Amino acid sequence: MRASYIIAMVVGAAAIVWIGSGQFDQATVAEPEISAVTKKRAAPKVRVRTSVANLRSRQLVFLGRTEASRKVSLKAETAGRIVAVPAIEGSRIERGKPIVRLAMDDRKARLAEAEAVLRHRRIEYQAARELSARKFRSKVKLAEAEAFLETAKAGHARASVERARTVIAAPFAGVLDQRLVEVGDFVKIGNPVATFIDLTPIRIAGHVSELNIGAIRQGMQARVKLVNGATGQGVIRFVASEAHETTRTFKIEVEVSNRDRAMVAGMTAEISIPLPPVSAHKVSPAVLGLSDAGAVGVKTVSAAGRVAFHSVEVIDEDIAGVWITGRGDALAERLSLITVGHEFVKNGEMVQTLPDKDAAVSKLGGSD
């Protein structure tokens, strides 16, 4: 028994000495260092394909609204009672045709009086000239007769204009959009009588963003399509030089002949403007992503195996994909485009690449 106790005490003492020497701590500290080396993570794997740019025709498409090329508010230029409204709302009226007639009242009599006075003054002036030429009348009397004649002419002109103002006529060939008076109404000078518009040609007005305004010029061709299916070819006649204060967009106007009068004012229209072709890449929408700043773009891999993010602009799309160009910086003609795994890698990160035609990577963004 005493021998077994002695052996146990020796073993226990040896254990205490070993622990106290610090070798136990050294072994436990060294283990994580070995683990970190053995468990070092490999570069993420992504699938890529080579994308080659091609020239792509493009169109700037945006919505607009049809407007009359001319629109006027016809107003009374003399006071009087409405006695006739020969024009019908919505009808096309040729230039000079009457829209509203006012009562003549005493205007005809005043014109006849003015004509009589004018005839009298002309005879009087002619006689004064003859007498003055024979030295039987002074130059003062001749000048007085001439002044009376000019006054009579002015009175006759006023009476003629006043009579003409009783007929409110179409200022140009167009459409009577709205008539605001009826027979029996009394109007004063300045009262609105009708709204008259010109729809041949017709204008389509829209607003272009500040990103696209640099590509728009006066005289460029444009195509318009209305919500009712009517279409037309036109020319850009106006491009605003100042952006709208709130929307930061620029107004443009397209003019269409509208000879068949198929287009009317106030309709929504789609405006398409052909733009010069640009070098663009055709990609699947699935490869598009967002940068940390929220910019839309794609990720590529450099020859050194490093990821790069490129901000892009979508210029066109079809059933097979979208066409993109660089925003700010142009995209290279050939890109090693990340098609699978772009969500798991960051700009500037080193990656391993596999061809797009290969089987899917089992663990994207990690090691085998």
Are 232 and 184 in the same domain? Answer: no
Q: What is the pTM of this model?
A: 0.62
Specify if 9 maps to a domain.
no
Same domain, 174 and 84: yes
Task: State which of 224, 256, 276 marks the end of a domain.
Answer: 276
97 pLDDT exceeds 50? yes
CATH code of the domain containing 128: 2.40.50.100
Asked if pLDDT for residue 12 goes beyond 70, the answer is: no
204 and 172 in a single domain? The answer is no
Residue range 109-149, pLDDT digits in tens: 999 999 999 999 898 888 888 888 777 777 788 888 889 88
264: in domain: yes
Q: Which of the four pLDDT bands, split at 50, 70 and 90, describes residue 19?
A: low
Which band of pLDDT confidence, cut at 50, 70 and 90, is reported for residue 39?
Answer: very low
Same domain, 218 and 294: no
Non-local (6+) Cβ contacts of 14 within 8 A are: none
Q: Assign 359 a pLDDT band (cuts: 50, 70, 90).
A: very low
Domain boundary among 248, 276, 304: 276
Question: Do 269 and 284 belong together in one domain?
Answer: no
Reply yes or no on whether the pLDDT at 23 is more than 60: no
* Residue 32, pLDDT score: 46
> Tens of pLDDT along 253-265?
999 999 888 899 9
pLDDT value at 7 more than 80: no
pLDDT value, residue 201: 93
pLDDT, residue 5, reads 47
Q: Given a cut of 80, is residue 79 above it in pLDDT?
A: yes
Could you tell me if 196 and 71 are in contact, meaning their C-beta atoms sit under 8 angstroms apart?
yes
Query: What pLDDT was estimated at residue 15?
Result: 56
Domain containing 102: what range? 77-194
How far apart, in Å, are the Cα atoms of 118 and each of 137, 142, 340, 366? 22, 16, 97, 107
Q: Which of 16-25, 45-54, 287-296 has the lowest mean pLDDT?
A: 16-25
**CATH classification at residue 322:** 2.40.420.20
Tell me: do 83 and 185 sit in the same domain. Answer: yes
| pLDDT (0 to 100) of residue 141 | 80
In a domain, 142, yes or no: yes
Stretch 84-94: mean pLDDT, rounded? 93
What pLDDT sits at residue 182? 94
Q: What is the CATH number of the domain that holds 213?
A: 2.40.30.170
Which stretches of the chain are assigned E, i.e. beta strand? 45-52, 54-75, 80-84, 92-93, 98-102, 167-169, 174-179, 186-187, 192-209, 221-226, 231-239, 249-256, 268-283, 289-290, 296-301, 307-318, 321-326, 334-340, 352-355
> What average pLDDT score do residues 220-228 get?
93
- The domain tally of the chain equals 3
pLDDT by residue (tens digit) across 287-327?
A: 999 888 888 999 999 989 999 999 998 888 888 889 998 88
Please indicate, yes or no, if residue 152 is contained in any of the structural domains. yes
**Residue-wise pLDDT tens digits, 232-253:** 999 999 999 999 989 899 999 9
Where residue 8 falls among pLDDT bands split at 50, 70, 90? low
262 and 313, same structural domain?
no
Q: Which residue has the tokens 């229209």?
A: 269
- For the chain, the distance separating the N- and C-terminal CA atoms, rounded to the nearest angstrom, is 60
Please determine, for residue 336, whether its predicted confidence score (pLDDT) is greater than 80: yes
In a domain, 125, yes or no: yes
Please determine, for residue 20, whether its predicted confidence score (pLDDT) is greater than 60. Answer: no
pLDDT for res 361: 36
For residues 158-170, give the mean pLDDT: 93
Q: Last residue of some domain: 153, 178, 194? A: 194
* pLDDT at site 212: 85
Verify that 293 and 255 share a domain, yes or no.
no
Q: Do residues 330 and 234 share a domain?
A: no
Q: Do 188 and 83 have their domain in common?
A: yes
**In terms of C-beta density within 10 A (0-12 exposed, 13-18 middle, 19 or more buried), how is residue 99 classed?**
buried
**Residue 72 resides in a domain:** no
**Average pLDDT score over residue span 204-208:** 95
- Across 62-76, 133-147, 352-366, the highest mean pLDDT is recorded for 62-76
Q: Is residue 239 part of a domain?
A: yes
Do 50 and 151 lie in one domain? The reply is no
Residue 13 lies in a domain: no
Residue 9 pLDDT: 53
Same domain, 220 and 119: no
Of residues 100 and 18, the one with the higher pLDDT is 100
